[in-house]
């Protein structure tokens, strides 16, 4: 529908920029990323998205520039109440993707270690309830996680 309205496949001049204001606020991260990739990579659109700073984090690898605007009170001069101050950044999508993937791997590893600790504790409780003398020991990584959690 969008491509038809914008006459994307017609010959001649056509619109190649899409500006939206919080258009993805009701979508999950995966769908939002897929829509952005479709519009940018398949249809060739330049996309400008306005969204709150707290929602932009996971989507940063999809963009090459970021502009943040801060609203500050203006000097009491009787003309304006506030001033918007822009702050522009050049983003490196490849580096951002790499950082996000590294963080995902860390979270997966922590989840695995927690799982191992909980499994070992469950095995200990089960073994002690049955009167068995020894239970499987958690891995050294799981023991390290347990000691880190105790330290916190």
Residue 113: count of CB within 10 angstroms of its CB = 20
Q: What is the mean pLDDT of the chain?
A: 77
Q: How far apart are CA 100 and CA 106, in angstroms?
A: 10
Which residue in the block uniquely carries the two structure tokens 């050294």? 140
Q: What is the pLDDT of residues 87-119, one digit of tens each?
A: 888 878 788 778 878 988 999 999 999 999 999
Banded pLDDT at 9 (limits 50, 70, 90): low
Range among 12-21, 25-34, 55-64, 72-81 with highest mean pLDDT value: 25-34
Q: What is the pLDDT of residue 106?
A: 93
Question: Encoding tokens for residue 117?
Answer: 């600790």
């Amino acid at each position: 529908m969008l491509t038809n309205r914008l006459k994307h496949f017609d010959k001649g001049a056509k619109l190649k920029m899409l500006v939206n204001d919080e258009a993805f606020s009701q979508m999950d991260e995966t769908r939002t990323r897929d829509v952005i990739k479709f519009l940018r990579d398949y249809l060739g659109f330049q996309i400008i998205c306005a969204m709150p700073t707290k929602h932009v984090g996971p989507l940063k690898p999809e963009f090459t520039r970021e502009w943040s605007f801060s609203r500050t009170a203006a000097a009491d001069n009787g003309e304006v109440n506030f001033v918007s101050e822009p702050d522009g950044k050049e983003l490196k999508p490849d580096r951002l993707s790499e950082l996000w993937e590294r963080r995902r791997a860390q979270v997966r590893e922590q989840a695995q270690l927690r799982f191992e600790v909980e499994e070992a504790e469950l095995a200990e409780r089960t073994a002690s309830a049955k009167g068995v003398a020894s239970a499987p020991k958690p891995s050294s990584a799981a023991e390290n996680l347990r000691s880190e959690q105790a330290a916190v």
